[in-house]
Amino acid sequence: MIKGPNLDDTIVALATAYGKGAIAVIRLSGTKAIEIVNSCFKGKDLSKVDSHTVHYGFLMDKESIVDEVMVSLFKAPKSYTTEDIIEVSCHGSTYLQDKIVQLFIKQGARMADRGEFTLRAFLNGRVDLSQAEAVGDLINAESEKAKQVALSQMRGGFSKQIKVLREKLIHFASMVELELDFGEEDVEFADRGALSALITELQTSIHGLLNSFKLGNVIKHGVPTVIVGRPNAGKSTLLNALLQEDRAIVSDIPGTTRDTIEEVLHLEGLSFRFIDTAGIRESEDVIESAGIERTREKIDQAHVVIYLFDASTLSKEDFEADLAKLKSYDKPYLVLANKTDISSPEWLSDQALLAISAKAAEGMDEIKSNLLQLMELNNIDNNAIIISNNRHFQSLSNSAQALQDVVNAIELSISGDLLALDIRRALHSLGEITGEITPDDLLGEIFSNFCI
């Protein structure tokens, strides 16, 4: 947990991922950043150069050359942290990275805490808390859609909407608070009808954001997609065909897959986390039964279910029984008839399904297209604000509940002091999102998840 960071310190840390590579970047931020690097840089005098410039030279440890480097300089306040920032691009040897960091520490820098560069950007007013969290989301983005959502939040669209909602509510809160100062005179400064109309407007906006969380969550973490079916239906073969590589064991022996296998496929900027499961059937084999139980758990957790069956062997009656079970989970699903290159019974023509051959990799494009349709990506407004952060969702939920309590209080003609309490709760929850209300332990939890 981050406790009272000393903003007077100049901090240093590796800005690129630790490990051997062509180059590495070491970043310093603080009032002495330029002085520290300048003291061991043989090249231009960094104290006399313009901001946002890059300079070639050598890092020196006394009389010894440490490395040949490029130094980028960003002067306050026009930098990420609003402080003086120096970024040193060096060769990517892990030995050199450690040696240069230690050289700067010896010159007076301090090793940065986790997320401290972004924490300083927040504390110095460069970004608000939701934008700071979006930096972490962007670093961890594993798909195009996840990147877009993180970038949108970094640009402040979500923050602006929250601030507008909060400012509108603050006006009425001040009117209600004013009434309390004139409690003995029985005056009403906050028009209850106008307040009710405002609450309805705020609730509509907040519920819209809350409704976006389901989509935002799967964009951020990927779409859990479970492949289910009877033993030997070809689930592992299908997974390999979709991934276009052999990642799952394929066998003619029923029950080969006794545990779940997870792989990721990126489609149209969205990550689908495919889960190949043990076949669903009654089994006396203890290990296989455990695998089947895990299959049921994965279906409960899934966002999309793919049901695959062997069209050459499964009867219509067994298919309808399986389909009934599938529908009982109340999740978007896709039905695939496998091995239709071997046999295609007439009853298949009456069913809403895709006929494929997993072994021959036929029908894979149709599967991918249908999965995207199930996600209804075409209905997403590219300019819409989508929330993907659990903390934001909880704060919005708390604010929505507080606003509903305000509505109930107005309808019951509750006294102004209790009404003011509910409005303060709503304002508090909204303020937590952007960091206008920020407990120290919350900062510690958020920024400790950043890389260092």
User: Which tens digit of pLDDT belongs to each residue from 293-352?
Assistant: 666 777 888 889 999 999 989 999 999 998 998 888 888 999 999 998 888 888 888 888
- Dihedrals phi, psi of 196, to nearest 5 degrees: -60, -40
**Spatial separation of the C-alpha atoms in residues 11 and 361, rounded to whole Å:** 54
- pLDDT for 438 equals 67
- pLDDT for 300 equals 83
List of E strands, 344-386: 354-355
Numbers of helices and strands, H then E, in the chain: 14, 13
Per-run averaged pLDDT (10 residues), the chain, 452 residues: 68 94 97 97 96 97 95 97 97 96 97 93 92 90 86 88 89 71 56 84 93 88 89 88 66 44 82 75 45 71 90 91 88 92 84 91 93 74 81 95 91 79 91 81 72 56
- pLDDT for 139 equals 87
Q: Where are the alpha helices (H) located in 182-251, listed in sequence order?
A: 192-221, 235-243
pTM, to two decimals: 0.76
In sequence order, the 6+-apart residues with CB closer than 8 A to the CB of 27 are 12, 13, 14, 15, 85, 86, 87, 88, 117
Q: Which of 401, 374, 309 is nearest to 347 (CA)?
A: 309
- pLDDT for 385 equals 87
- pLDDT for 52 equals 97
- pLDDT for 293 equals 65
